[in-house]
Amino acid sequence: MLRPGPRNLITDVDGLLVGNAQDDRLRSGVSVVLCETPSVAAVDVRGGAPGTRETDLLDPSCRVDRVDAICLSGGSAFGLSSTDGVMKWLRDHGRGLAVGDVCVPIVPTAILFDLLNGGDKAWDWPPYRELGYAATAAAGRDFALGNAGAGLGAKAGNLKGGLGSASAIDPASGLQVGALVAVNARGYTTMGDLPQFWAWALEQDGEFGGLPPPPRGLALSVSHERADLTHDPAEAARHDPRANTTISVVATNARLDKASAHRLAVMAQDGLARSIRPVHTPQDGDTVFVLATGTSGREVDALTLGELGTLGADCLARAVARGVYNAASLGAARGWRDTFGR
């Protein structure tokens, strides 16, 4: 029977570590998924406003077939410099693609927009390089959720967003699946004005509140909350629906090639659709990376790959809810517990 792993984190997938670094004054941070050995990777981008680095090389037709880490960062385009810090840590530890006598770490990266959340962004040079190095150095099996790493400055519709993770393990086959996500969505993660998450039906062991079923049917409406720039520009900026993007990593211990990993990423994107409404909007840069560590030694057929994709989507949906559930109020963004009094 499939169950969450012992930590219910992406690090339940053998071969992966996660590190967070954040700056409370800045209200932003970085999360790094560190591969203990280079792993097959892929990506699927659905949002209309993505910010990424080193994603073209993940195309199955491109030569490089292993990566050393995946970096998720706040800071919008400034946050792409976090990759430099991750690469420095990796090079300092002899990690990367060997090209002659040169070692080149491969670190695909995605960023979210958190520049209008009230934090001090009056930097001289963007601080994300140092945050990327610190996050990589802090990588381990256990890590914080909610206001941590790339989730520190995030928001999710009408609520404070955050960093979430979840896992699923099949003891019979030995297959492991996990997800990590920084939830900074344009859409809502809860069912209208109810406290139940859209991912409610997928919850395991009360991992995001253990609430009963929603008490009533839901209207088929979508929030049209807009920023009123004529009333209070500063407050409106913090709620500007253009300031979004949900970025994530889904991982498995199965042996996949790049084409199969890409198919897993495509399927896993459905986890965002199961947990955020609306999703993949023109204001979001929704991005799902996949890592396949291959530690199980098991190659998968098409049927098993379909099952992994379903589990990946479920884990990602649960991780979204866990990220918001564990996030505390910060500035104008109110946490789930403060909003619903639970």
3 state DSSP class of 175: coil
Q: What number of residues does the chain have? A: 342
Tell which residue, 143, 108, 157, has the closest CA to residue 288. 108
188 belongs to a structural domain: yes
Tell me which of 79 and 228 has the higher pLDDT.
79
**pLDDT at residue 220 above 90?**
no
**153 pLDDT exceeds 80?**
yes
Note if the pTM is more than 0.85.
Answer: yes
Phi, psi of 330 (to 5 degrees): -150, 115
Tell me which residue range forms the domain holding 204: 10-212+233-340
pLDDT tens profile 101-124: 889 999 999 999 999 999 999 999
227 lies in some domain: no
317 in a structural domain: yes
Q: How far is CA 204 from CA 2, 195, 317, in A?
A: 10, 17, 12
Higher pLDDT, 241 or 103: 103
Residue 222 lies in a domain: no
Report d(CA 175, CA 178) in Å as an integer.
10
Q: What confidence category does residue 233 fall into, taking pLDDT thresholds of 50, 70 and 90? A: very low
Does 136 have pLDDT greater than 60? Answer: yes
221 located within any domain: no
What single-letter DSSP state applies at residue 263?
Answer: H
Looking at residue 217, what is its pLDDT? 73
Domain count along the chain: 1
pLDDT at 144: 97
In a domain, 219, yes or no: no
pLDDT the model gives residue 191: 92
Average confidence (pLDDT) over 211-229: 66
Question: Who contacts 1 (Cβ-Cβ below 8 Å, separation ≥6)?
Answer: 171
Contact status, residue 9 vs residue 166, Cβ threshold 8 Å: yes
d(CA 142, CA 63): 33
Q: What confidence tens digit (pLDDT) does each residue in 263-295 have?
A: 999 999 999 999 999 888 887 888 999 999 999
Residue 226 inside a domain? The answer is: no
| DSSP character at residue 209 | -
pLDDT bin (cut points 50, 70, 90) of residue 240 is low
- Please give the pLDDT value at position 242: 58
pLDDT score of 234: 43
| Residue 239 forms part of a structural domain | yes
| Closest to 28 (Cα-Cα) out of 140, 136, 139, 112 | 112
Please give the pLDDT value at position 273.
94
CATH number at residue 43: 3.60.70.12
> Tell me, what's the pLDDT at 165?
98
Count other Cβ atoms within 10 Å, centred on residue 341. 6
Please compute the mean of the pLDDT values over residues 237-249 and round it to a whole number. 72
